[in-house]
Amino acid sequence: MPTTTAPLPLPERFPADSIQLREGLDQPTWIVRREILVDLARELTADPETGFDLLLDLCGVDYPDREERFEVVYHLASLRGGGRLRLKVPVPEDDPVLPSLIDVWKGADWFEREVYDMFGLHFEGHPNLRRILTHEAFQGHPLRKDYDPARRWILTEDKMYRPQPEPPMDAEDDMFERMTINIGPSHPAMHGTFRVVATLDGEIISASEVEIGYLHRCFEKMAETHTWQQVIPYTDRLNYCSSFINNVGYCRAVETLLNVEVPPRAVWARTILSEFSRVMDHCVCNGSSLVDSGALTNFWYLFQPREEIYGLLEACSGARLTVSYCRIGGLAADLPPDFEARCRALLETIPAFIDDVEKLIVSNRIWLDRAVGIAAIGGEEAVNWGWTGPCLRASGVDYDVRRDNPYDLYDTVDWDVPVFHGGDVHDRFRVRISEIRESLKIIRQLLDRGMPEGPFIVDDPHVALPPKEVAYNQMEAMIYHFKLIMDGIQVPPGEIYSAVEGANGELGFYVLSDGSGKPYRIKVRPPCFPIFSTFSRLINGGTISDAVVSLGGLNVIAGELER
Amino acid sequence: MIGESWVTTTFEKLEEWGRNNSFWPLPFGTACCAIEFMSVVSSHYDMARFGYEVVRFSPRQSDVMIVAGTITDKMAPVMKKIYDQMPDPKWVVSMGACACSGGFYRAYHVMQGIDELIPVDVYVPGCPPSPEGLMYGILQLKEKIERDTKKRRKREKAKRADDDGSVAAA
Ligand code: SF4
């Protein structure tokens, strides 16, 4: 269902002063008193046609000068009706409590813990309100404006948190062979930095607890201390398997606030490179999740196309992984002269690798035994947990930002959104393979259309740096250059939530500007954050070896998860 | 006596030669740099050409720890523990700006370089370092170990000569 941003009628049943309407630049905004929050949320989800079934994001904002210092911002979407809504709940500093929405949207669980961690707000009714990103010895709440960005606290081993997942006790439970094991955070199956503590009954996981935060690099605080352009390299390191898409997502949000029009050449290149990045990301995800189930050959097969796409990105930007190729208003540099030829060569070579892997896997008995029916989740439940992207489409929900809320050139090309219905590891794999093919389809059409002529970045001295030759030779251009470097882009006050389809799902940037040269607040909606919060629910009741396979299929990227 | 010592040195040399050409790296990969580390071990760059392909995730089996990625304060005790679990002799390669110095994360949750906690033998700069960069770093480590053992052997020899001399004098 395409997204609409038409104003919604205010529900009448609540007292008149408990909801105020604000016109948002991007979507309707309601300011809500916390007393009615839970009732309102229930009412908003109730309608089977237009109800807001997806809690996209939940974050806090600190306004030290306001009477009610904090504000908690909820971004809601209705996948059935296409609506979008932003709720803002003011919270005073001396009574920092608001009700938890975990009963309405299960996905609120980790988001609320994050707000607690970052701002110190308490969510009444949350069953497990602990710090989530920072460590146990941490003091204070880092995203408050008065927290010094470089103030560190040292964690020693004896203070480390030791989860004790308590399995439900029932009459038949004879405690036979029960033991608790710790996997991670440094464990090959945990892809870097996740930690799962599981209580096993024989080989079956009867309870588990997930601990994250081992790669919390303070992206949001860093963004507040840098100018708008300087944030771009930080966005690379969110989902570092497809860093270009993050660049695009962030730049689009700022461009909307600035109201600048990106030249067609840059839009064209952004679309193509985003799709190549998606291919790369899916290759890494499928490759490494197959390694987890023992299928090593595919890893080599899938890493080769990725290596070749790196070649293309390196030719454009000079970097392989962390490209930082977007700029606000366009691209960092013009496309290389052999861009088209390189893309065509990639289109020739990639399908063979994908076909090979598919042939090796889809009818492979061992893989099917390991993947079919494993870590399955239904569509409705997945939405309630906040899932988006390929994992959601594997559960039968047909939602893709590129089609439902089109940006760049996606509405001008002909492509399909692959949907599978099993909701298990197997279908997540299949969705990704099909999406790689769709991406290549998009790229091919755009290449056939030809590269648009013209500039690669807007010709606006308040946004884009003037070319070097001009800056060296003309006084005016030099002044602009100086101003942009020293003061940064001056983004007008305002707020925007803008989303692109990242490789993992809806990658949203909620950007707040107060008109100073730096972002007031940037909140990323990391698509794998709500997905990973479901992990315990997915693996409980399965065997320990299934847990490993299901983690690989979710494609959780630590940089994006923990920022 | 002479025969015996001749055997010992040769064995030492043999061992050294074997060790320097077949590190067993422990990839302590946490972030973006780990992705580049994967490139180094996969087919295109292929670290196996130098003999360093036996990547072991168990600290007990490895002798070079490659710290690839940002180390946060939350991860620090884990890293220290894994380092402590590695048997001697052991070396550490710090891959990437983050591991070397915290990189551009001058922030409340990020270690400003892993040498706050464990000794580092080779720093490989870059964000992320190119695969060639990491390979160069590992070859540097190899040279460093060779240099160190040569020095050590020289020192030992001098000490032996010294001891002999003093024995003779007495
Ligand atoms: S040095 Fe750069 S690439 Fe490596 S982990 Fe740090 S941010 Fe990522």
* Ligand 1 atom at shortest distance from the alpha carbon of B128: 3
The confidence band for B4, taking pLDDT boundaries of 50, 70 and 90, is low
The confidence band for A213, taking pLDDT boundaries of 50, 70 and 90, is confident
Residue B5 forms part of a structural domain: no
Query: Looking at residue A240, what DSSP letter applies?
Result: T
Question: How many contacts, defined by CB atoms under 8 Å, are there between A and B?
Answer: 127
CA dihedral A341, A346, A352, A355 (to 10 degrees): -130
- Provide the shortest C-alpha distance from residue B15 to chain A (in Å): 29
Of A12, A163, A302, the residue nearest B38 (C-alpha): A302
State chain A's maximal CA–CA distance in angstroms.
Answer: 84
Of A103, A94, A100, A137, the residue nearest A116 (C-alpha): A100
For A359, residues 6+ apart whose C-beta sits below 8 A from its C-beta are none
pLDDT tens readout for residues A73-93 = 999 888 887 888 888 898 888
Residue A517: both structure tokens together: 């040269």
Average of per-residue pLDDT values in chain A:
86
B148: domain range? 11-169
Q: Kindly give the distance from the C-alpha atom of residue B96 to the centroid of ligand 1, in angstroms, as a whole number.
A: 6
Say if residues A107 and A386 touch (Cβ distance below 8 Å): yes
Q: Is B103 in the pocket of ligand 1 (CB under 6 A)?
A: yes
Three-state DSSP at A482 gives helix
Q: With a cut of 80, say whether residue A136 has pLDDT above it.
A: yes
If you write DSSP's letter for every residue of A9-59 in order, what string do you get?
PPPSSS-GGGEEEE--SSS-EEEE-GGGHHHHHHHHHH-TTT---EEEEEE
- As a whole number of angstroms, the distance between CA B38 and CA B31 comes to 11
Region A351-358: mean pLDDT is 89
Three-state DSSP at A505 gives strand
- As a whole number of angstroms, the distance between CA A264 and CA A452 comes to 6
Q: With a cut of 50, say whether residue B1 has pLDDT above it.
A: no
- As a whole number of angstroms, the distance between CA A272 and CA A266 comes to 10
Residue B139 forms part of a structural domain: yes
The confidence band for A279, taking pLDDT boundaries of 50, 70 and 90, is very high
Ligand 1 atom 6: the closest Cα is on which residue?
B98
pLDDT tens readout for residues A434-456 = 999 999 999 999 999 888 888 88
Average of per-residue pLDDT values in chain B:
83
Region A393-413: mean pLDDT is 87
Architecture in CATH for domain A16-124: 2-Layer Sandwich (3.30)
Q: With a cut of 80, say whether residue A168 has pLDDT above it.
A: no
pLDDT, position A7: 57
Q: Is B128 in the pocket of ligand 1 (CB under 6 A)?
A: yes
CATH topology of domain A222-552: Cytochrome-c3 Hydrogenase; chain B (1.10.645)
Region A514-524: mean pLDDT is 88
pLDDT, position A271: 92
* 3-class SS string, A307-340: HHHHHHHHHHHCCCCCCCCEECCEECCCCCCCHH
Say if residues A438 and A247 touch (Cβ distance below 8 Å): no
CA angle A436, A439, A445 (to 5 degrees): 145
Whole-prediction pTM value?
Answer: 0.89
Domain boundaries, chain A: 16-124, 158-211, 222-552
pLDDT tens readout for residues B101-125 = 988 888 888 889 898 889 999 999 9
Q: With a cut of 70, say whether residue B2 has pLDDT above it.
A: no
Q: Which residue of B has its CA nearest to A234?
A: B104
Q: With a cut of 70, say whether residue A367 has pLDDT above it.
A: yes
pLDDT tens readout for residues B27-51 = 888 888 888 888 888 778 888 888 8
- As a whole number of angstroms, the distance between CA A375 and CA A366 comes to 17
CA dihedral B111, B113, B117, B123 (to 10 degrees): 150
Region A246-257: mean pLDDT is 91
Residue B3 forms part of a structural domain: no
Q: With a cut of 60, say whether residue A2 has pLDDT above it.
A: no
**B29 and chain A: CB distance < 8 Å anywhere?**
yes
- Total domain count for chain B? 1
Residue A337: both structure tokens together: 């002269």
pLDDT tens readout for residues B84-104 = 988 888 899 999 999 999 888
Q: Kindly give the distance from the C-alpha atom of residue A265 to the centroid of ligand 1, in angstroms, as a whole number.
A: 30
Q: Which of residues 73-102 of B touch A (CB under 8 A)?
A: 73-82
- As a whole number of angstroms, the distance between CA A471 and CA A476 comes to 8
Which chain B residues are Cβ-neighbours of A558 within 8 angstroms? 30-31
Which of B28, B30, B33 has most ligand 1 atoms within 8 Å of its beta carbon, as the pocket-test mutant?
B33
The confidence band for A319, taking pLDDT boundaries of 50, 70 and 90, is confident
Render the burial of A424-446: b for 16+ CB within 10 Å, e for the rest: bbbbbbbbbbbbbbbbbbbbbeb
Residue A265: both structure tokens together: 């050449």
pLDDT, position A248: 92
Q: Is B113 in the pocket of ligand 1 (CB under 6 A)?
A: no
CATH number at residue B48: 3.40.50.12280
> pLDDT: is B168 or A62 the higher one?
A62
Of B110, B144, B119, the residue nearest B20 (C-alpha): B144
Q: Is B69 in the pocket of ligand 1 (CB under 6 A)?
A: yes
pLDDT, position A176: 61
Which chain A residues are Cβ-neighbours of B110 within 8 angstroms? 152, 217-218
Ligand 1 atom 3: the closest Cα is on which residue?
B128
State chain B's maximal CA–CA distance in angstroms.
Answer: 63
